[in-house]
Amino acid sequence: MAFLSLSTVSKYFGPKVGVEGISIDVNRGETVLLFGHNGSGKTTLLRLLATLTRPSEGTISLQGTEFSRDRPTQRGELGFVAHETYLYEQLTALENLRLHARLHGVDPNRCEAQLDAVGLTDRGNDPVSEFSHGMAKRLALARATLHDPALLLLDEPFTGLDEESLLRVTDQLRELEETTVVFATHDVDRGFRYADRVLVLDGGQLVRDIDTAQCPGPDAIKQQYVNAPRQS
Amino acid sequence: MIRQYLRVVRAIAAKDLLLEARGKRRANGAAVLALLIVVIFSFVFVRRVDEQAVIARGGLWIALVFATTLALSRGIAVEDDNAAIEGLMLAPVDRSAIYLGKVCSSAVFVTAIGWVTLVAVTVFLGTPFEPALLVQLALVFPLAAIGFSAAGVLLTALTLNSQVNESLLPVLLVPLVVPVILAGIELTSLAGGPFWLSEWFRILLVYDGTVIVTGWVSFEFVIEA
């Protein structure tokens, strides 16, 4: 049984296609890179996996159990770092983490350790409004991994980060050996280093499922898809 | 499961009150608006209308409803920043917990606005409120606040992704809370008998119950839209 299973999942926004007919199985502990042009459906797919939006058609199952409004506890298995940080600017870093600890029924004493893991130990009592983009993103990663999710979803985790922040984030990702990670990025070179599989999306459809062990490298993907014309 | 649900309700309400205590984004705007409405009432009506008590009741509730509308609109804006509401939506409990948490915090806030407005009415309209009436209002304000908040939180969630949120909310909210306004005005006077036996009090209770159940059932669908 696949850890995460999507069966002919489609999402439509009126006449516009978000994603269409996506069927994939992801094994536990796999790291999957979603790759595609802007508007190819990466963010929509991640939001579907995070249950922030529901599929128009098809089903998504986690550990054999279909996502449903009647089973909200399934969200305890999910962690999501989106484009936005989901943080309250007027609260301090620790207050933000403690809020999410309470939401997930996690011991709030874990928050200090989480801050430490993303290199923000000294900034715990500073309001998020004083944080740089990179610091806020690291704090968002601490928020998303606070409850040890089995499935971690990341939307453009490397965008807008300086070298120090990039190192912190990538170190964090390396430590998540047990966690199944699905992430979207335009940074194919960096993403390829962590991914076991690359799913190429175009026009909301899955056009390639590539095993990185069988692929010569990120340049092959870039050559084939970055410069390729988009589907409508 | 129920314990975790209640923990989420409490965490969201506490977070809202902490944000308000720290930023006072809502309190300042709502209090100033309530004060202005009462002051304008005093200029327009005090010397021209004989029944001061009627003016005071009307001024109190009109100021309260518009200050509440402003407060609710700003209350949801904080969830829009950094899409923070989606972080709440990831909590592993039924999403109605977000609704109940926000209704609780808004109700506390609206009750506080009610007392501030009452002081302003007493000062600017020169209408003293009897102690028995103050005791009555100690129950009426929170019940009215629950009604305003239950309807307001649902509507603000509905308009969260709308570009016209600020202007749309009063247009939708004020007609919807007319029963609360009417009941509030009627219950801001001593009728003689126990106020909790009056039909206006029953209307207020039934309204609160109906809107809370509607919001509780529909919030998940509203917020996902």
pLDDT in tens, A12-56: 998 999 999 999 999 999 999 999 888 899 999 999 999 999 999
Cβ burial of B91 (10 Å; 0-12, 13-18, 19+) is buried
Chain B residue with CA closest to A79: the answer is B90
Distance from CA of B156 to the nearest CA of A (A): 18
User: Token pair for residue A65?
Assistant: 């159990």
Residue range of the domain that includes B208: 1-224
- The predicted model gives A45-70 an average pLDDT of 92
Q: Where are the alpha helices (DSSP H) in A50-187?
A: 93-103, 110-117, 133-145, 163-174
In this prediction, residue B157 carries a pLDDT of 87
Q: What residues of chain A lie within 8 A of the CB of B4, using their CB?
A: 105
B84, A86: Cβ pair inside 8 Å?
yes
Query: What pLDDT does residue A182 have?
Result: 95
Q: Tell me the pairing of strands A4-13 and A57-62.
A: antiparallel
What is the token pair recorded at B29?
């705007």
> Which of B18, B22, B220 lies nearest to residue A69, judging by beta carbons?
B220
Report the pLDDT value the prediction gives residue A205, as an integer from 0 to 100: 93
Q: What is the overall mean pLDDT for chain A?
A: 89
What are the average pLDDT values for consecutive 10-residue runs of chain B, which has 225 residues? 92 94 83 91 77 84 92 83 93 95 95 93 84 90 96 89 72 92 90 81 96 95 81
Judge whether residue A67 has pLDDT over 90. Answer: no
Cβ-Cβ contacts under 8 Å, B78 against chain A: 88, 90
Residue A229: pLDDT above 70?
no
B83–A84: do the CB atoms touch at under 8 Å?
Answer: yes
Residue type, B223: I
Task: Give the Cα separation of A212 and A159 in Å (integer).
Answer: 22
Rounded Cα distance between B113 and B63, Å, is 9
**A99-119 per-residue burial string, b: 16 or more CB within 10 A, e: under 16:** bbbbbbbbeeebbeebbebbb
Distance CA B99, CA A20 (A): 32
DSSP 8-state assignment for residue A115: H
Helix H or strand E segment including B1? none
- In angstroms, the separation between the Cα of residue B211 and the nearest Cα of chain A is 22
Mean predicted confidence (pLDDT) in A194-217: 88
Q: For chain A, what percent of residues have pLDDT higher than 90? A: 63
From B4, B8, B19, residue closest to A90, measured CB to CB: B19
What is the DSSP-derived secondary structure letter of residue A76? G
At A164, the pLDDT band (50, 70, 90 cuts) reads confident
CA distance B184 to A93: 41
Coil, strand or helix at A187: coil
Considering chain A, what percentage of its residues have pLDDT values greater than 70? 96
Residue whose C-alpha is closest to residue B56's, from B165, B184, B146, B155: B184
- Rounded Cα distance between B80 and A86, Å, is 9
Q: Which residues of B touch A (CB under 8 A)?
A: 1, 4, 7-8, 10-11, 15, 18-19, 22-23, 78, 81-84, 86-95, 220, 224
Judged by CB atoms closer than 8 Å, whether chains meet at A73 and B94 is answered as no
Task: Tell me the three state secondary structure of residue A87.
Answer: coil
Cα–Cα distance measured from residue B225 to residue A194, given in angstroms and rounded to the nearest whole number? 34
Q: Is the Cα torsion angle B7, A137, B165, A41 positive or negative in sign?
A: negative
Nearest residue of A to residue B14, measured between CA atoms: A99
CA A232 to CA A36: how far, in whole Å? 13
Confidence of residue A232 (pLDDT cuts 50, 70, 90): very low
Q: Is A105 on the interface with B (CB under 8 A)?
A: yes
Tokens representing A73 are: 């506890």
Query: Are the Cβ atoms of B92 and A104 closer than 8 angstroms?
Result: yes
pLDDT of residue B193: 73
Predicted local distance difference test score (pLDDT) of residue B103: 96
CB of A90 less than 8 A from some CB of B: yes
Which SS3 state, helix, strand or coil, does residue A25 take? strand
Asked if the Cβ–Cβ distance from A91 to B23 is below 8 Å, we say no
Task: Give the integer Cα–Cα distance in Å for A158 and A164.
Answer: 11
- Closest CB to A89 among B4, B81, B87: B81
Q: Which residues of B touch A143 (CB under 8 A)?
A: 87
As given in the structure block, the two tokens for residue B118 are: 């009452």
Query: Do B7 and A105 lie within an 8 Å CB cutoff?
Result: yes
State the CB neighbour count (10 A cutoff) for residue B47.
7
Which of B74, B82, B88, B93 should we substitute to test contact with A (largest number of A Cβ atoms within 10 Å)?
A: B82
On chain B, the residues whose CB falls within 8 A of the CB of A99 are: 11, 15
A contact residues 123-182, partner B, Cβ 8 Å cutoff: 143
Domain tally for chain B? Answer: 1
Q: Rounded CA gap, B93 and B91, in Å?
A: 6
Q: Dig out the tokens for A202 from the structure.
A: 């175009």
φ/ψ of residue A60, rounded to 5? -120, 130
